[in-house]
């Protein structure tokens, strides 16, 4: 893929990213976007922060999102509150012209009650830190039974922060047959084990 125009992305998404000043795809986007729009398989991408990985997974995720119901279809796991807010904000920017996309960031250190109120209204894309997400799952405030896409962003960072057990528990709640996209700056043994266990 040499340009966004021949990427297969919809007019609504192209308009939004053009307004954000995206003129040509960054390398990870050129590789990942056509793959995610085409095949149904899982993906592992070695990518650092600042390489454009949010749009690489976010644009195809939004394009393929079933917007006909308010059920949660996609889950993005990220290590920190800041990154969660960043990703949720970026996804909102990209979806500006799609209409009817609900995106929520859930992370620790903020009122859980406000997050629960928002979840009860129905959220299609949840961007979460593992600890808070697991807390909400244990309180039965999150239903992951319709999730078809899981993104693990900065996976190595999540493991460094000790989230492996939480991630294990979260992934156990997600039905078989979903697609997993893993982004990591490095590929230590633990990431390889995680991918062997959960990815096809």
Q: Which residues bind ligand AMP (CB under 6 A)?
A: 21-22, 25-26, 29, 49-55
Structure tokens at 195: 């991918």
DSSP 175: P
State in angstroms the smallest separation of the CB of 46 from ligand AMP.
13
For tokens 């003129």, name the residue.
23
The label of the residue with tokens 């999540």 reads: 158
Output the smallest distance, CB 169 to ligand AMP, in A.
27
Q: Which is nearer to ligand AMP, 34 or 112 (CB)?
A: 34
CB nearer to ligand AMP: pick between 58 and 115: 58
To the nearest whole angstrom, how small is the minimum distance from the Cβ of residue 149 to ligand AMP?
A: 17
Q: How far is the CB of 127 from ligand AMP (least distance, A)?
A: 13
Angle between helices 130-138 and 164-171 (to 10 degrees): 50
Q: Which is nearer to ligand AMP, 26 or 85 (CB)?
A: 26
Structure tokens at 90: 């970026």
In angstroms, the CA 87 to CA 84 distance is 5
> Distance between the two ends of the chain, CA-based, in angstroms?
25
Taking the least distance from each CB to ligand AMP, the nearer of 80 and 146 is 80
Please identify the residue of the shown chain whose CB is closest to the bound ligand AMP: 54
């Amino acid at each position: 893929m040499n340009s966004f125009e021949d990427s297969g992305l919809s007019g609504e998404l192209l308009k939004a990213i053009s307004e954000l000043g995206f003129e040509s795809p960054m390398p990870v986007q050129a590789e990942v976007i056509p793959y995610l729009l085409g095949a149904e398989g899982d993906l592992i991408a070695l990518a650092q922060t600042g390489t454009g990985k949010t749009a690489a997974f976010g644009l195809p995720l939004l394009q393929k999102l079933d917007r006909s119901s308010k059920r949660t279809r996609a889950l993005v796991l990220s290590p920190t509150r800041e990154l969660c807010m960043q990703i949720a904000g970026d996804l909102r920017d990209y979806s500006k012209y799609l209409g009817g996309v609900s995106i929520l960031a859930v992370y620790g250190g903020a009122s859980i009650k406000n997050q629960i109120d928002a979840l009860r209204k129905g959220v299609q894309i949840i961007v979460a830190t593992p600890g808070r997400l697991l807390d909400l799952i244990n309180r039965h405030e999150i239903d992951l039974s319709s999730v078809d896409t899981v993104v693990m962003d900065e996976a190595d960072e999540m493991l460094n922060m000790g989230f492996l057990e939480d991630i294990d528990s979260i992934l156990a709640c997600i039905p078989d047959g979903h697609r997993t996209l893993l982004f990591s700056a490095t590929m230590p043994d633990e990431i390889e084990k995680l991918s062997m266990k959960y990815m096809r």
